Structure 1
Amino acid sequence: MDIDVLGTLAVREMGTSITPTAPKPRQVLALLALHADEVVPVGTLTEELWGSEPPRSARPTLQTYILQLRELITAALEQHGDDTRTAKDVLLTVPGGYLLKGGEGGHDVQEFERLAGMGYRAMDAEDFPEGARLLREALALWTGPALADVHTGPHLDTQIKRLEESRLCALDQRIEADLKLGRHRELLSELTVLLSRYSTHESLCGQYMLALYRSGRRGEALDAYQRLRSTLVRTLGLEPSPALAKLQRSILMARPEGVAGASGVRLA
């Protein structure tokens, strides 16, 4: 089974889609797919679909959604002439819940985590070209926001936030690697877009300041700091971190020896 959630939901059995079009069954499949090869309790599925006050018909309705998913799986198996398994072998009923078997197919989240982990280890070893390559490959698996076309409840919302944080960490480290490799000018347009979306993200701002400074745009680097400071004070009542303030002072003084900035990269 191939599972893609880093963008629109796509689940395929033997190359044939088993992704339903109806919103609720899609929601069930998304949660099962995110936890492939793990038991998802009935209570978790129920809360995901209906919140803390499910209707009396919640359990039989959930069973109907499971039946609909199994019908799609059956069609996929029959299309490919697989008579060694049934839908119940792929989507199992187990004590207390359901389990979707991933088998030997691909799962984009697992592949993202594998590549990102290798990228982090390369960064720790100061192999910045390899770190940049691996992290760029990991981030390329994202085709949009996670589960962009799925209605989400509390459990999927939590998982989406976790995935987005993982993506941001990988993105931060990939930009860090590119700065280490002297690609500051190439990063400017990307960082401009990112900061318009994550206006209070200090690490991205620090990287943007460094990229501007190294591109000979010292005044704009200082302006970026002031914009972030104004936003933090206005929206959160906070000052920038000491590390970012130190970077700002270093750029202000234009010290040629350089100091470590908020992103861990030196000015010179």
Structure 2
Amino acid sequence: MLDRIRNTASFIRNKTGFEPEAGIVLGTGLGGLIGSIRIEASLDYRDIPDFPVSTVEGHAGRLIFGLLGGKRVVAMQGRFHYYEGYTPQQVVFPVRVMKMLGIRHLFVSNASGGINPAFRTGDLMVITDHINMIPNPLVGPNIAELGVRFPDMSEPYSRKLIALADEVARREGIALQHGCYIGVTGPTFETQKEYGFYRTAGADTVGMSTTPEVIAARHMDLPVFAVSIITNMGLAGLQSSHEEVLAEGAKAEARMTRLFIGLLEAL
């Protein structure tokens, strides 16, 4: 695995000549942030050795390289999910590669279902902790060159970055929620009892991604900042659809983009 990560990173470096400072993972329907990047290079996932390929609507399937908030970034326009049939190790492979390319911070976004009754559709929630119900990507032989066998997870999301985000949000007039995200396998949306169970467990939002990527990032000692866009309210008893998720994500991503830009500028 380590050789494949190195080979893929070498391929990307040779193709782009780009040295990113920060990595960005864009969730379902949240690719609009790309329009704010001063793009210097891009690669389709299908052209990158050992990269999975996005199969979900709302995930364009490209790596974008350029400037955002005065920093050199590499952005994943579309991510991979366990429910697509990929192994947990394949899901986090791009995060491993971005670390090998030189990123020092990871920014993650997702579309999620709100299960905190104080939340509303369209809210931005800064993730302060998570509950992982997706198979752990660190199961199997440990690659010591990437990280320790038993990585600490007492601070999965950087408190420093969260504090910076709160400052940016106050300055920009962006309302933020804070809370716990639970990552589940999907691909079904949750039943009402499942929503209630997750809420009882301490979760504020639920989604089908993010936690494996964060685990891999923390394994490699990468600071993480993550935001959930609340695209539907799970406990409302209403039907959920992928189309609804895409539409609500598109409405809120301008605020998320401003937040990410402000954070990058503050680094």
Q: Same-fold call, TM > 0.5?
A: no
Query: Which of structures 1 and 2 has the bigger CA Rg?
Result: 1
**What's the TM-score once normalised by structure 2's chain length?**
0.25
Structure that is richer in strand per residue: 2
Which TM-score applies when normalising by structure 1? Answer: 0.25
Structure with larger RCO (C-alpha < 8 A, sep 6+)? 2
